[in-house]
Amino acid sequence: MGLNLLLLLSNSLVLVGILILLGSLLTVRRILRSFPEGRSHKGWFTMGCLISLFVLGYLAYVNIFWEKHTQATDLIVPGVFFFGACFVLLSTFLSLNTALDIIRICELEKESSTDPLTGVYNRRHMEKCLQEEIAKAQRYKFDLSLLLIDLDNFKLINDQHGHQVGDQVLTDISALVLQELRSFDVMARYGGEEFLVIAPNTGPGYAHILAERLRKRIEMHHFFVGSKALKIKLTISIGVSSYGGSITTQESLVLRADNNLYLAKGQGRNKVIADQSKYPLQV
């Protein structure tokens, strides 16, 4: 191999290697933008610094050995540099794709478990959570309560102010209720204007207190909707049920909460009826 060709080849391998490393840095930048702050973020930042150091090393190498490659074996180091850079690019590229795939899967999972209007969980996800909580209550003898919340005379809001205002009220109510719950409580939209709260580690007494707190919070609230000029008052009724006795299944828990909600509506609305044995379960 001629000397000029040897020099051209060895220097090109290192220079192209530098370009490939710069390409990897761009990929690392995209990964950093995709990840929230945290351990992975710090790890990828370190990776970016290391790649930058590699670039400096490659530049120093070309600078020192620009005309010093005289035999075929001198191609080994530039070759290792080149394939090393390819390896870094491939690793970062595959990591980026994996990260984007994971983000997409998380988004799909979130979409499939949340209600698009209010952002709280949907009924499907609620049923899954409830099943898990019942299993825990059975196994570890934990308390468990359900709160079935229904907006009072909500049809009137839709009829008087329109469906869009009704939607806004539903969204605001979800946010208000969520503010009152603990992080491990689960709130789901159970139906049109019905919400269900799963309260783990919560017995009948505290569930009743929680439901009363929610009822009062909504009663005191002024809903400003539309152009904010529209001030709406609204109340909710809540049926509460608690795990224990004959109520040990998903169906019986929901049915008891539903029966209690029915009683609350019957007693004039804006009311909480908690699980009490004096009300027989009506199937």
Ligand X SMILES: Nc1nc2c(ncn2[C@@H]2O[C@H](COP(=O)(O)OP(=O)(O)OP(=O)(O)O)[C@@H](O)[C@H]2O)c(=O)[nH]1
Q: Write the DSSP string, 96-114.
A: HHHHHHHHHHHHHHHHHHB
- Return the range that interacts with ligand X (CB under 6 A); candidates 51-59, 162-170, 200-208, 251-259: 162-170
| Six-digit token string for 154 | 């909500």
Strand order in the sheet with 236-242: 186-189, 194-200, 144-151, 236-242, 272-273
Does residue 154 interact with ligand X by CB under 6 A? yes
Considering CB under 6 A, how many residues would be counted as binding ligand X?
16
* Distance from C-alpha of 32 to C-alpha of 53, rounded to nearest angstrom: 18
Judge contact between 275 and 247, C-beta under 8 A. yes
Does residue 233 interact with ligand X by CB under 6 A? no
Catalytic residue among 67, 132, 193, 212: 193
Cβ distance to ligand X smaller for residue 60 or 117: 117
The one among 96, 120, 148, 170 contacting ligand X by CB under 6 A = 170
Does residue 155 interact with ligand X by CB under 6 A? yes
The one among 96, 151, 187, 234 contacting ligand X by CB under 6 A = 151
Cβ distance to ligand X smaller for residue 202 or 270: 270
Does residue 104 interact with ligand X by CB under 6 A? no
The one among 265, 276, 279, 281 contacting ligand X by CB under 6 A = 265
Does residue 172 interact with ligand X by CB under 6 A? no
Phi, psi of 240 (to 5 degrees): -115, 140
Does residue 120 interact with ligand X by CB under 6 A? no
DSSP, collapsed to helix, strand or coil, labels residue 81 as helix
* Distance from C-alpha of 85 to C-alpha of 55, rounded to nearest angstrom: 9
First to last CA, the chain: 92
* Distance from C-alpha of 247 to C-alpha of 186, rounded to nearest angstrom: 19
Does residue 192 interact with ligand X by CB under 6 A? yes
Does residue 166 interact with ligand X by CB under 6 A? yes
- Return the range that interacts with ligand X (CB under 6 A); candidates 50-58, 85-93, 130-138, 150-158: 150-158
| Six-digit token string for 15 | 């220079």
Cβ distance to ligand X smaller for residue 152 or 275: 152
Residue with tokens 């610094």: 49
Catalytic site includes residue 132: no
Judge contact between 265 and 148, C-beta under 8 A. no
Q: Enumerate binding residues for ligand X (CB under 6 A).
A: 117, 150-155, 158, 163, 166-167, 170, 192-193, 265, 269
Residues with active-site annotation: 193
